[in-house]
Structure 1
Amino acid sequence: MNDLAELLSAFMARVAHPGELSALARLSGGANMESWAFDWAGSSYVLRRAPSADYMAGRPYGHADEAALVIAAHDAGVKAPEVVGVLEAGDGMGTGYVMRRVIAEVNPAKILADPPPSLLADLGRELARIHAIPSATIPAAIPLMDTAEALAELKARFLSYGGDRPVIALAIRWCEDHLPEPANPVLVHGDYRMGNVMVDADGLAAVLDWELAHRGDAHEDLAFGCMTVWRFGRLDTPAFGVGSLDDYFTAYEAAGGGKVDRARFRFWLVYRTLWWALGCLQMGQAWRSGADPTVERVVIGRRTAEQELDLILLLEEEAPGNERDRALPPSPAATPTPDGEPTNREIVQAVRDWIEESIKPQTQGHAKFEAVVAMNALGIVMRDLDAGVRAEDKILAEAMLSGASTLAEPGLLARLRRDMLDKCAIDSPKYAALAAARAEWRG
């Protein structure tokens, strides 16, 4: 960190004004990029960076274009951060940029526990402003998304990952069958959700994380923040965990956004849930390849189960009524614990307890976050060892993908429901939708 402080000091002296660096600290979270908070000459800033080229591999544009986009959004009146400088190769810190720090709450749990009254209207208004950013000010590198091509790419990735998850295959086939006509393209933020917005007592204070921005269908942005996973347990408030879809759509339209098409919105809700399921799988591939060796990647890789559960909840209405009413088959019997020498599960338990009792209390900041992630990873392994089963089935997935098997097939929906309940109970037992699905399906 001392090297970073020295390099960052030189950068700030060049792009800002003379001063002294203090309070440099790594911010927790961030699935792909690093964020560092620091003070300079009495003001607060954030460095957003990728420390090496590996982090940027496969991205359609780099941090210079991302920064230019954030500047364009800020100039258009969007509550985007104010960029003060972009890293250059000679700065020695990788790629990235520095922004003025916004002091507000970003933790979804804290925001949703007591959201300001204006928040849902603010979310609709800011999204309308994003979609109205003049095309002439958007950097040329920001790509145009072709939905059919993007879906084909998701399908190819699924097959490259083994093609053995029936629910993901079901969702791909559904999206192929319900592909909407191309929309008039607007700037799509691409990650507009709780966790990427900052909120204070007056409402929405900032829109963060522009790395997935592209040109495309406005309904993609409208749907993304309404995914179950981004509502953080607020299952009864489908718009961001804050309010109703009707109120959200009304706010968006009143602020100048286009008329919301409910069928198009539903397509994007399914598509982005599918996209994130494959995104989780991709995190595991990043760990396997060595591009990102952190334990966080492994744990996120197992969050695919959450999205598979959500996809069944979204698509089960396609099944006949008698199939939706069918009782679930029983779960496989748990593996008994033998006597004698410690089992694999017990060894994992011992390591997890050691981290919790001896390592976690001695850490802080990002290191404490990593200790918690490691404990979560070992918890998954323990539950997996207990169950001894997974929900992968390549033959069934191929049948779903081809359309040879559908949810009209007797007993198939019940089987998929059971598989997803059991898989999610291993990988994400605290996921709020799991308890709700278990109650709804009498599982």
Structure 2
Amino acid sequence: MEVTPESPAATGLADGVGAVLGAALGATLTEVRARQLTGGASRQVYAITARDDTGAARQAILRRDPPGHGDARRMRAEAACLRAAATVGVPVPGVLGNGDTAPGIDAPYLLMELVDGESIPRKLQRDPEFDELRPGLVAELGRVLGLIHRTPLDDLDMLDDGDPVASVERIYRDLADPRPAVEMGLRWLRDHAPAARPNALVHGDFRLGNFLIDPSGVRAVLDWELAHIGNPIEDLGWLCVRAWRFGAPTPVGGLGERDALLDGYESTAGVRPDAAELLWWEVFGTLKWLVLSRFQAQRHFGGEERSIELAAIGRRVCESEYDLLLVLGLLDESVVLPDPAEPAATVQDRPALTEILELVGRTLAEEIAPALTAEAQRQRYLLRICGNLLSIATRELRAGDTATAHVHDLLAELGCDSEADLAQRLRDGSRSYTDPGVRRAATTAVVARLGVTDPRRLRRS
């Protein structure tokens, strides 16, 4: 359910947050408003504004699970991580309160202090405001990670500490959607596993978009919901995953080089992984994001949480498939898709299907979006998703079935009748991920999908 400041649901939420925030501040609050922010595919995030009994403005941030889909244990763990990390100097928002539920909030929640700063990756990568900070930002992120990994674990025994590869593989198997790229990645990870390291607090999602930064540096590390106990180098590899470069060329968040990250990390952590270990965790991170993307989409397709945002993530799984083959060195660079066949003649009048989709997309972008108020950030975000999906549908119609037929021909040459069949053979070892024919078939299928979903990523490799 969409919540806007004017809706009855927002009124109930504001009342509930006002009671919790007022108790935390020791004040009576009035004019409490809750405005949902963009992003947050798994949790809802709200900006809270209010006035206390002196008339002073008060602000906070609320994170809550979608009502009816809560995980109180994980929310409690996130609050515990924030409190523990703060003790060693990690920049985090102060925790004002958390609970399994509260009247009006109606789900597990975490209420935090508002921290000013920028989180949008492209602004951090490009805006002149950050020009002076940018050359040293990667090293600073490394230093922050070193502090996170020094966090005492005494009060964090509720965190998972299992084998991360086994955990991701379990999620993948439960999806029942076998993919050759995933099987290639799993096999490679097993073949090249690095030596173990002492356990530490792992943030689990340390990347651009989850930091608040101003021209002075990192103000806060956000979104600890994937935190766990494990090998600390996982966080370093995750920050280097191609998805978190947001189209920029440099490997660490599109901001700088790996050596700068490791220099900063070594200064606070006292250890420095070598290139092979960092690569292993970058491969793992790419595979993890692939599986989590598919898992997020399944929440919609399985009926757990109907959401256009979650559904759209399903079309982005191929981005991570491509990135995985690329980082593994298994992408067949020689693959060229056949030209699409000419569309069959139709008795329908114009506008044609592709023209209809383009017209709707252009109308949403040029007529509807500008009419939205500045407060309608969530609606603007959803409009962008709608526009992207319309563009995908247009490209798929134009592509036709030629690429699909070509993929089936390549699979048949391997004795496979589907990508799922090839995935099973990779899993049982009857096919090798280094086989040129396997690489060609896997690459062709992924390129065919990505050419429809986001052809720009093919040109940014």
Cα distance in 2 between the residues matched to 1:4 and 1:53 = 15
Residue number in structure 1 paired with 2:82? 70
Is this contact kept in 2: 1:198–1:204, CA < 8 A?
A: yes
The match for 1:216 among 225, 230, 237 is 230
Is 1:429 aligned to residue 426 of structure 2?
A: no
SS at match of 1:91: coil
1:19-50 CA distance string (max 9 Å, x none): 33455321111121111112234232111111
Is this contact kept in 2: 1:305–1:428, CA < 8 A?
A: no
Is 1:203 aligned to residue 221 of structure 2?
A: no
Cα distance in 1 between the residues matched to 2:377 and 2:164 = 40
Q: What letter corresponds to residue 49 of structure 1 in structure 2? A: R
Is this contact kept in 2: 1:192–1:224, CA < 8 A?
A: yes
SS at match of 1:281: helix
Alignment of 1:401-416 (within 5 A): 401-416=427-442
Deviation at 1:358, TM superposition (A): 4.6
Q: What letter corresponds to residue 364 of structure 2 in structure 1? A: I
Is this contact kept in 1: 2:61–2:111, CA < 8 A?
A: yes
Residue number in structure 1 paired with 2:323? 310
Is this contact kept in 2: 1:72–1:137, CA < 8 A?
A: yes
Is this contact kept in 2: 1:197–1:207, CA < 8 A?
A: yes
Alignment of 1:81-230 (within 5 A): 81-93=93-105, 94-114=107-127, 115=130, 116=133, 117-138=135-156, 140-157=157-174, 160-163=175-178, 165-230=179-244
Alignment of 1:6-85 (within 5 A): 6-16=15-25, 17-22=27-32, 24-40=34-50, 41=52, 42-56=57-71, 61-85=73-97
Residue number in structure 1 paired with 2:269? 256
Cα distance in 2 between the residues matched to 1:201 and 1:238 = 22
The match for 1:417 among 436, 443, 449 is 443
Cα distance in 2 between the residues matched to 1:218 and 1:382 = 43
1:165-199 CA distance string (max 9 Å, x none): 22222112212222334321100000000010111
CA separation of 1:335 and 1:212: change in aligned 2, threshold 3 A: farther
Cα distance in 1 between the residues matched to 2:217 and 2:240 = 18
1:101-127 CA distance string (max 9 Å, x none): 111100000001144133112101110
1:327-380 CA distance string (max 9 Å, x none): 334425245263431555444445434433553333321011111111211221
Alignment of 1:268-347 (within 5 A): 268-316=281-329, 327-334=334-341, 336=343, 338-341=345-348, 344-347=353-356
Deviation at 1:406, TM superposition (A): 2.9
Cα distance in 1 between the residues matched to 2:58 and 2:136 = 28
Is this contact kept in 1: 2:161–2:230, CA < 8 A?
A: yes
SS at match of 2:254: coil
Cα distance in 1 between the residues matched to 2:155 and 2:88 = 9
Residue number in structure 1 paired with 2:3? none
Q: TM-score, normalised by structure 2?
A: 0.85
Cα distance in 1 between the residues matched to 2:168 and 2:378 = 35
Single out whichever of 206-215 and 86-95 deviates more from structure 2: 86-95
CA separation of 1:344 and 1:257: change in aligned 2, threshold 3 A: farther
Is this contact kept in 1: 2:70–2:108, CA < 8 A?
A: no
SS at match of 2:158: coil
Cα distance in 1 between the residues matched to 2:396 and 2:422 = 22
Cα distance in 2 between the residues matched to 1:151 and 1:285 = 15
Residue number in structure 2 paired with 1:396? 422
Deviation at 1:272, TM superposition (A): 1.4
Stretches of structure 2 that go unaligned for 5 or more consecutive residues are 1-9, 408-417
Give percent identity, aligned residues only: 30
Cα distance in 2 between the residues matched to 1:335 and 1:273 = 36
Cα distance in 1 between the residues matched to 2:265 and 2:294 = 33
Deviation at 1:155, TM superposition (A): 4.7
Single out whichever of 248-257 and 394-403 deviates more from structure 2: 394-403
CA separation of 1:72 and 1:307: change in aligned 2, threshold 3 A: same
Is this contact kept in 2: 1:328–1:415, CA < 8 A?
A: no
Cα distance in 2 between the residues matched to 1:371 and 1:278 = 26
Residue number in structure 2 paired with 1:371? 383
Deviation at 1:383, TM superposition (A): 1.5
Deviation at 1:408, TM superposition (A): 4.0
Deviation at 1:128, TM superposition (A): 0.4
Cα distance in 1 between the residues matched to 2:425 and 2:32 = 59
Q: TM-score, normalised by structure 1?
A: 0.88
Q: Which structure is higher in RCO with an 8 Å CA cutoff and minimum separation 6?
A: 1
Cα distance in 2 between the residues matched to 1:167 and 1:388 = 23
